[in-house]
Structure 1
Amino acid sequence: MKPPKPQSRPDRVSLWRYLKLFRQDLLSAQPQRLYRAWMAEFRTPFFRSYMINQPDLVDEVLKKRPDDFPKSHRISEGLRPLLGESVFLTNGAVWKRQRRIIDPAFEGGRLKDTFPAMRAAADACVDRLRPLVGTQVECEQVTSHAAADVIFRTLFSVPIEHDIAAQVFDRFRTYQREQPLLNLAAFVPLPRWLPRFHSRKTRKTAQEIRSLIAKLTKDRAAAIAAHRAPDDLATKIMTTPDLETGKCFEPEEMVDQVAIFFLAGHETSASALAWTLYLMALYPEWQERLAKEAEALDDRSFAVMSKLKLSRDVFREALRLYPPVPMMVRQASCPEKFRNRDIPKDSQIVISPWHLHRQERLWDNPDGFDPNRWGTENGKTCQREAYIPFSTGPRVCPGAGFAMVEGPLILSTLLRHFRFETIPEKTPVPVAHLTVRSRDGIWLRVVER
């Protein structure tokens, strides 16, 4: 039994058909041959872009020469109403300054400090799920709630039930479904001055979210000034000066950064956790092994994470099969030559974790669920060379370590208390929204252990 994946389009379709498929779902718009290709060129009367699916080319773009391949401004335009000039969208000196301020908050020692908040969010998730035992549950809603709770507890020391946190969460659910990961501007070279045609509802929802975040950051700034702020991630980031300029984030900049922390830290974790729960239901023998391992959670200290090895391997495998961000787009700042192909300046370079993680020439059993692969030579090699759920290089997600504690912890906590079962008539179909989600949700039956 293979985990579900989108139905790839035929290798040849008309431009009109491709654009229609793309608008419906980025993943199913791509042809099957991309799972074997080292590189592919997308050429239409309007644009040219290149997908690279070969590890050394990915390294060239993301690790060796990242300044020569900045983030595409076309992608930035699609997310700017919510994210402004956040670290996710900026390039060059602005981005480097932002990372110098942000990175210290996510250093290894801080994970131990944030662990109690993560543990409290995991326990709260169990409490919310217990009244639903015996029913069919849409797991993406469950994991979204849990991941948002983690973000607010670790960032602002408030639970998701906090008035402003609850409002941000509610509005973000609206934003998530109406805003695709990549808008048409990513693939059609519209002039930068041309409006990007965000819907009025998208712009309104983004502004509401930013206004709520601005209230949280303003309150925190006042608490910092009064020397009564908790020692959480928001305080750490707001009080860390750039080592080169000595300046901290301005209030508007902090709103931008909190917006991306919420999007990246909540949306991606929710996606990964929901797919992991589905995989556990699909492979009950693995679910039982993790439930047994979860007995270690009697230890409530950070040291328990070293005992959740199976949970970590399962979560890592779910990230391989369903990477939350399925594609990343860079822009060639000068002419290039990849695999003897001339790449014109300003071409779009598409790096697809979705395809790289299933590259048939690299992975053993690429479409299969096999958490044991991480102990094999093939798995270890591919983990180094072809596994980028958090990107790689200088722009690797600063919260990667955070996510690899949060995911296995919540997964183990849920499996300790509940068993999840598939519903035959509700097999999830992965599609790309802001992250890889299921077209009609991930529905599972919840049974008390």
Structure 2
Amino acid sequence: MDQRPVPFRAPAPTPPPEQLKLFKFIYTAARNPLQIWSERAYREPFLRADWLKVPTIIVNDPSAIRYLLVDNAQNYAMQPLRQRLLRPVMRDGLLTAEGELWRRTRRALAPVFTPRNIEGFAPVMQRRAARFAETLTALPGGRADIAYQMTLLTYDVLQATLFTDDIASEPEEFARSMERFMGRMGRVDPLDLLDAPAFLPRLTRIMAGRSQAYFRQLIGATIDRRMALVTSDPDAAPRDFLTLLLEAEGLSRAEVEDNIITFIGAGHETTARALGWTLYLLSQAPEERAKVEAELDALLPGLGDDPATWLDRLVHTRAVFEEAMRLYPPAPSLNRTALRDDRFGDLAIPAGASVLVMPWLVHRHEGLWKDPACFVPARFMPENRGTIDRYQYLPFGVGPRVCIGQSFAMQEGVILLAELMRHLRFDFVGARPPFPMQKITVQPDRGFPMRVTRR
């Protein structure tokens, strides 16, 4: 008899049997876009529907994803709906910029994310995580919302590494504002779905106005301080993300601000969500948690003082983090518009069509994964990684617009997870399982209430 434990089935929406009708589609998309996808979207390589007379093509086939987003990427611009949702938040930041502005910004930021620089951040990441683990044990009753706590931790790491501790804000105030900001700005407004004129006010953006003003004011003050230091004593200014942005040729003050907002939102928030989901999944899979704890107990005392090596050495820890990002991809959609007619095999793509590559769907596709709804970290162990097509696992996107901070985020995620779990154990104590909601990232509907104890 097979005595292996049954893999934990991760919480997710139940797909409707058929595509939703117009009114229900708009209502559902405005509440939680993850719930609009029918059973066919998790089974078929391609789907096509017409939305407001615009052809919409959902692509799940890895070969087609490579063709569309890599080989012929120049034919696919950012989808207008995506831009309507994100540009009010990030304006001309790297995530929403296009054309020459995007190329110039990408070149300016590249030096920050070289392998040497990223490895240099590892000790800071490890020290901040160790310090944070101590604060978690001191929480009243030993209980905490880990979704919120991971926002605090990743913010601390972000401002320590990319900004050299130069963002002057209270962490608690920052975390609360970030929660409101991302939660409201990430919601799909019905007026955006209907392609209503831009001058019509969107309620979601009005509600997020105070949080957005807070971030803009915070970043503006940070820029002013750094510019004063660069002007008065250039040698004293740290060679970090902020200084490189200020020195970038052709970037205006507003564009610098936009990119800082983008990296706070897209960089720190996505890692926080990935860590929260990882700790939740491990709390529901004791045998997987035991493997990670055994690995940490066996290896960390012998790895010396260089946490930059952890990413390669801690294979179980890395595998659970990657499997969590498969089930709950931090960025669940990659949306493009075809500039010219195109074709991939029998798939005809007319100019103007919306082309959607959804990591949420690709990562849970029944034709690409065994037990796709279950938490199975073994998929990402070294002996199994070769079975995963490069274009069926897309937590950081793909192609020219792949996340520039991918290596930073992977190193951060593994170091923070390892440092927390070597000292602590996290047990979910919520009344019901968390339900994933797509805003800008994939978030739990009610956080992750957990009991935190020392191991």
Which TM-score applies when normalising by structure 2?
Answer: 0.90
Candidates 242, 264, 274, aligned match of 1:262: 264
Cross-structure match for 1:7: 14
Cross-structure match for 2:86: 79
Change in CA separation of 1:424 and 1:182 when aligned onto 2, cut-off 3 Å: closer
Describe how 1:109-258 pairs up with structure 2 within 5 A: 109-132=116-139, 135-158=142-165, 162-163=168-169, 167-180=173-186, 182-184=188-190, 187-191=193-197, 198-225=204-231, 226-227=233-234, 228-239=236-247, 241=248, 247=249, 249-258=251-260
User: What's the CA shift string for 1:128-165, capped at 9, x where partnerless?
Assistant: 211137544211001111111111111211188x4366
- Supply the AA of the counterpart residue of 2:296: A
User: How far 1:90 moved relative to its partner?
Assistant: 1.4
Change in CA separation of 1:187 and 1:42 when aligned onto 2, cut-off 3 Å: farther
Change in CA separation of 1:326 and 1:130 when aligned onto 2, cut-off 3 Å: same
CA distance in 1, matches of 2:370, 2:184: 36
Candidates 438, 442, 446, aligned match of 1:440: 446
Match of 1:27, SS?
Answer: helix
Describe how 1:30-69 pairs up with structure 2 within 5 A: 30-45=37-52, 47-69=54-76
Identical positions, percent: 29
Match of 1:211, SS?
Answer: helix
Cross-structure match for 1:244: none
CA distance in 2, matches of 1:439, 1:110: 36
Gap runs ≥5 in structure 2: 1-7
- Supply the AA of the counterpart residue of 2:253: P
User: How far 1:181 moved relative to its partner?
Assistant: 5.2
Cross-structure match for 2:273: 271
Decide whether the 8 Å contact of 1:82 with 1:210 is kept in 2. no
Candidates 288, 300, 308, aligned match of 2:305: 300
Moved more, 29-38 or 180-189: 180-189
Match of 1:425, SS?
Answer: coil
Match of 1:385, SS?
Answer: coil
Cross-structure match for 2:358: 352
User: What's the CA shift string for 1:283-312, capped at 9, x where partnerless?
Assistant: 112212222322444433234413322111
User: What's the CA shift string for 1:389-438, capped at 9, x where partnerless?
Assistant: 00011111010000111111111111111112233632111111121111
* Superposition RMSD in Å: 2.3
User: How far 1:46 moved relative to its partner?
Assistant: 5.1
CA distance in 1, matches of 2:197, 2:347: 26
Which TM-score applies when normalising by structure 1?
Answer: 0.91
User: How far 1:97 moved relative to its partner?
Assistant: 1.1
- Supply the AA of the counterpart residue of 1:50: I
CA distance in 2, matches of 1:349, 1:54: 13
User: How far 1:168 moved relative to its partner?
Assistant: 4.2
CA distance in 1, matches of 2:343, 2:198: 26
User: What's the CA shift string for 1:312-359, capped at 9, x where partnerless?
Assistant: 111111111110111121111112334534433222111100111111
Match of 2:273, SS?
Answer: helix
> How many corresponding residue pairs?
442
Moved more, 165-174 or 428-437: 165-174
- Supply the AA of the counterpart residue of 2:228: A
Change in CA separation of 1:76 and 1:168 when aligned onto 2, cut-off 3 Å: farther
CA distance in 2, matches of 1:147, 1:364: 32
